[in-house]
Amino acid sequence: MPPRATNPSPRETELLEAAYAYALDHGLNDLSLRPLAEAIGSSTRVLMFLFGNKDGLVRALLERARADELALLAGLRGPEHPVGLAAAADAVWAWLAADEHRPLLRLWAEAYARSLVEPDGPWAGFARRTVDDWLDVLAGSQPRTERDTGEGIAERTLTLAVLRGALLDLLATDDRDRVTAAVRRWLPPPQPPEPGAC
């Protein structure tokens, strides 16, 4: 299948947004083009023309979900004045625990798991890209003096593992208070600002 155009048409963008809203409500596991097309006011023929096939549409939906995730991460990047790993983890958890993000995060969990068990399908590389994205933003929150050290890498890897595990617990139980209390208990103490940072 050829790659999607870098400048999609307004109609393609409109249908992708509608399909994304549908996926947030229904998930991707049993996605079928016919009911999706009917729900968003299109046809399977149009969707096939725009996205190539079902796998192409799933790839587009995963990229759309990743765009939402990256929008959060962009707000946490601060290479000139790092906020510190604890502050970044606290901000990330507040976003992850917000009720309005639950549909996106269920979609993320589904795609993450499928990427692990179906590495050659449309999910290929999704889990790895997600890990890289989050490690990158956590690295940006660390002081430059520790960012590239073995200890710094281990600290952000542990931070990501705790946040991801807490997120899966939250998605399974919907017990935000309990899981948030556990995350806050674990959070490392705030780091003093780097010399010269204001």
Mean pLDDT over each residue of the chain, to the nearest integer? 85
Mean pLDDT throughout 44-65?
A: 90
Q: What is the pLDDT of residue 196?
A: 54
Burial (0-12, 13-18, 19+ Cβ within 10 Å), 44? middle
Residue 3 has pLDDT above 50, yes or no: no
Cβ atoms < 10 Å from Cβ of 125: 11
- Please enumerate in sequence order all residues whose Cβ is within 8 A of that of 149, keeping only pairs 6 or more positions apart, or say none: none
What's residue 155's pLDDT?
95
The model's pTM: 0.78
Please tell me the CATH code under which domain 10-186 is placed: 1.10.357.10
Least confident among 42-51, 71-80, 93-102, 151-160:
71-80
Q: Where are the domains of the chain?
A: 10-186
Q: Is residue 189 pLDDT above 70, yes or no? A: no
Confidence of residue 198 (pLDDT cuts 50, 70, 90): very low
Radius of gyration of the chain (CA): 19
Note the pLDDT of residue 137.
85
